[in-house]
Amino acid sequence: MTIKVVHYINQFFAGIGGEEKADHRPEVRDGVVGPGMAFRQAFGTDAEIEATVVCGDTYFNENLETATSEVTAMIQEYSPDVVICGPAFNAGRYGMACGAVAKAVSERLSVPVVSGMYPENPGVDMYHRYAYIVETSNSIAGMRKAVKPMAKLALKLARGEKIGTPEEDGYIPRGIRKNLFAGERGSRRAMEMLVKKLKGEEYTTEYTMPVFDRVHPSPAIKDIRTAKVALVSSGGPVPKGNPDHIESSSASKYGRYSLQGIDDLNSENSETAHGGYDPVYANEDLDRVIPVDVLKEMEEAGEIGSLYEYWYSTVGNGTSVANAKKFAAEIAKDLQSSGVDAVILTST
């Protein structure tokens, strides 16, 4: 009996369009679409993609509950044995959509799900417990390499075969612990690892610890009354209309906006692009996100040297660490070249 598969992809991989079509509503197409061709080749005669469900990344993330229900209902119509989402690589909103679909399908339909993402995709952290997520490269260039292990894992899940460890079956750890019997007691295993570490030999830990960046604070400003101060925010403050179309979640860009002639941010000249908090109060008075009005007053009173003529903005909601680091490096370089002495960082 041939295994039935339903494939979830976004508007880009369906050939509908890029960011300009990211508000595309959910639709279902019979058979294979886009990257489904590679999966069909990997499956051979063992499985068949019965249908492909497509949804725009913006529509899904801005209408999470509605889109999740719509997509899940479309998938349910085909009674699949397994669902494949993506791969999403490092596309944050796509990863979040794939993860939300995986969660709904596994919980509501009790159908196993396989996806593929770059480890820093925010969808991994949010949804790794609901799908077997195969590690992929950062970009679509790794499509061929991603498909084979995803297809293999999907077949194992559909057949009800035992799934091995992340190392054995090539998926990102799900944070689920299972008891097993070891040949040696824990104290002996710990000492053996310690000895290997001291000798500089290779060893495998039984519990991988998270790695966190440490950012050392810069020295204090000697005289704030002569300092040029800039505003940088992950709270999504943008001019009215969001001219750079910064995404409400999983941002792929940041903006640089002029403060020339502006002493106050209000509902007429500005708004927030952020989709992770209630925007009502921010849209009424964006000084609640970046205090332009107060800093202008301080500049006039001589309490700061000057307010830099541009502010920088992005959305931190679901944005990958890799993108955040890239934005920060570019912004910092620009600020340094402009002689900025201090930066006020605001969020939500």
In the chain, what percentage of residues exceed pLDDT 90? 77
Domain tally for the chain? 2
pTM over cut 0.85? no
pLDDT band at 69 (very low <50, low <70, confident <90, very high): very high
pLDDT tens column, 251-286: 889 999 999 999 999 999 999 999 888 899 999 999
Same domain, 282 and 153: no
Residue range(s) defining the domain that contains residue 251: 224-346
Residues whose CB falls within 8 Å of the CB of residue 294, separated by 6 or more in sequence, listed in order: 287
Token couple for 221: 């400003």
**Residue 248, in any domain of the structure:** yes
Alpha carbon of 292 to those of 237, 242, 308, 325: distances in Å?
Answer: 11, 18, 10, 25
**Residue 197, in any domain of the structure:** no
Same domain, 152 and 12: yes
Q: Spell out the SS3 assignment of the chain.
A: CCEEEEEEEECCCCCCCCHHHCCCCCEEEECCCCCHHHHHHHHCCCEEEEEEEEECHHHHHHCHHHHHHHHHHHHHCCCCCEEEEEEEECCHHHHHHHHHHHHHHHHHHCCCEEEEECCCCHHHHHHCCCCEEEECCCCHHHHHHHHHHHHHHHHHHHCCCCCCCHHHHCECCCCCCCCCCCCCCHHHHHHHHHHHHHHCCCCCCCCCCCCCCCCCCCCCCCCHHHCEEEEEECECEEECCCCCCCCCCCCCCCEEEECCCCCCCCCCCEEECCCCCCCHHHHHCHHHCCCHHHHHHHHHCCCCCEEEEEEEECECCCCCHHHHHHHHHHHHHHHHHCCCCEEEEECC
**Residue 255, in any domain of the structure:** yes
Same domain, 233 and 341: yes
Same domain, 129 and 258: no
Same domain, 156 and 262: no
Same domain, 337 and 269: yes
Same domain, 243 and 116: no
Same domain, 252 and 125: no
Domain with 157 in it: what CATH number? Answer: 3.40.50.2300
pLDDT band at 180 (very low <50, low <70, confident <90, very high): confident
**Residue 89, in any domain of the structure:** yes
Same domain, 29 and 155: yes
Same domain, 7 and 114: yes
The reported pLDDT for the residue numbered 84 is: 98
- Type of residue found at 188: R
**Residue 187, in any domain of the structure:** no
The reported pLDDT for the residue numbered 196 is: 94
- The whole-number average pLDDT for the span 156-178 is 89
Same domain, 165 and 228: no
Task: Using alpha carbons, select from 168, 179, 96 the residue that is nearest to residue 131.
Answer: 96
pLDDT tens column, 95-123: 999 999 999 999 999 999 999 999 989 89
Same domain, 255 and 144: no
In the chain, what percentage of residues exceed pLDDT 70? 100
